[in-house]
Amino acid sequence: MTVSIITVCHNSESSIAATIRSVLAQKFSGIEYIIIDGASNDGTVEIIKSFGTQISKWVSEPDHGLYDALNKGIAMATGDVIGFLHSDDFFLDDHVIEKVVDLFERKHADSVYGDIQYVDQNDISKVLTDRKSGNYHRWKFKLGWLPPHPTFYTRRIFYQQYGLFDTSFNIAGDYDSMLRFLVKNKIRATYLPEVMVRMRVGGVSNRTMENIKKKWREDYRAMKKNNCGNLFTLFLKTMRPIAHFHRSPKYLFK
């Protein structure tokens, strides 16, 4: 089995090297690593180049947003399984992909997901909160649940069968994709009950009321498109991050 890991970045010189090293340090040997850079104008491209042939494929060019960039990566991927590690994220340890592949092979999984930790942007040793996903049940989506997308790995064939990210979304394309795979088309999901990824949070906040309203509209459109949920589902989905970050009010409300 081979795994394609896709990193999308733009002007990420402060964090991209750590993300790349995190992938290259994985003990599993069958990794195809793809980086899609959105024509960065800082030092990101020079950092990518410095890793040479350790990166399987990369491109730096303008795109039409996050989901367009992710679709470029999927189109370039040849692995049996596809996952994503964004430029603010890194693996918890060197054995994450080994464990993911073990579940795919041993459980004949269609997809695998796990837990995520949110860490301070400037001090990655400072864990703000743990997000424990819990075991998979399809009905949980109607209660606003979803797997953390940076931990979600699925077989490449499902992108071929059920479609890439819908680029009409600006924020909720990953939510739409998981609803399409897991709810609408009922692929199986297997839970890895361990932290897989750490994600940096902080910095300039985009939690303006206008952006929050935009996210609500897109989440609700994804629910209606995939026949999963209603306004109560949207309310519960909105409240879940508050529950996860109850220990970090500065992050939530800054």
Per-residue pLDDT band at 217 (split at 50, 70, 90)? very high
Per-residue pLDDT band at 205 (split at 50, 70, 90)? very low
pLDDT at position 48: 98
* Domain containing residue 196: CATH number: 3.90.550.10
Q: Which two tokens stand for residue 5?
A: 């890991």
d(CA 248, CA 227): 33
Per-residue pLDDT band at 201 (split at 50, 70, 90)? confident
d(CA 44, CA 15): 9
d(CA 226, CA 176): 8
pLDDT at position 246: 52
Q: How many domains does the chain have?
A: 1
pLDDT tens digits, 49-93:
999 999 999 999 999 999 999 999 999 999 999 999 999 999 999
The parent domain of residue 188 ranges over: 3-253
DSSP 104-160: HHHS--SEEEEEEEEEESS-TTSEEEEE---S--GGGGGGT----GGG-EEEHHHHH
Per-residue pLDDT band at 204 (split at 50, 70, 90)? very low
Helices (H) and strands (E) in the chain, counts: 9, 9
Q: Which residue bears the tokens 């077989």?
A: 155
**pTM for the whole structure:** 0.92
What b-and-e string marks burial along 170-195, b requiring 16 or more CB atoms within 10 Å of the CB?
Answer: ebbbbbbbbbbbbbeeebebbbbeeb
pLDDT at position 156: 98
